[in-house]
């Protein structure tokens, strides 16, 4: 019983002591490859998703597009980004994100 407690305590202490990745800004992410962004995000999905989301917003604005607000579209785009990055980790992440945004995006409504 004491061993489990000690292991749990040590694991929690190690996680608390581990450096947390800082937020990656859009201008930094624009020049990163898929692999570089993954490493810079601390190899953690929530941080990587934040980077991808930031880049997707840049692409949407630049292209005058919007994403349909459905789980399926987000999942589809996410799978496409993951597959493209897996196929070519040295690809610019923004190019991969932009490709998927163009694929699933729809023209934004004009005011």
8 within some domain: no
Average pLDDT of the chain, as a whole number: 86
71 within some domain: yes
Query: Could you give the dihedral angle defined by the CA atoms of residues 8, 12, 17 and 21, in that order, rounded to the nearest 10 degrees?
Result: 130
First to last CA, the chain: 64
pLDDT value of residue 9: 52
d(CA 80, CA 103): 10
d(CA 70, CA 96): 21
92 within some domain: yes
Q: What's the full length of the chain, in residues?
A: 111
What's the number of domains the chain is made of?
A: 1
16 within some domain: no
Q: What is the pTM for the complete model shown?
A: 0.78
What is the domain range of residue 37?
Answer: 22-107
pLDDT value of residue 29: 96
| Half-sphere CA count of 76, side-chain side, radius 13 A | 14
């Amino acid at each position: 019983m004491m061993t489990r407690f000690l292991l749990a305590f040590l694991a929690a202490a190690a996680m608390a002591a581990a450096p947390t990745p800082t937020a990656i800004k859009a201008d930094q992410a624009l020049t990163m490859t898929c692999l570089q962004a993954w490493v810079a995000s601390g190899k953690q999905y929530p941080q990587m998703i934040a980077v991808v989301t930031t880049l997707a917003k840049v692409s949407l604005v630049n292209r005058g597009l919007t994403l349909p607000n459905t789980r399926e579209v987000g999942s589809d785009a996410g799978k496409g980004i993951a597959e493209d990055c897996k196929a070519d980790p040295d690809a610019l992440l923004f190019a991969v994100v932009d490709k998927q945004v163009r694929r699933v995006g729809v023209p934004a409504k004009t005011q």
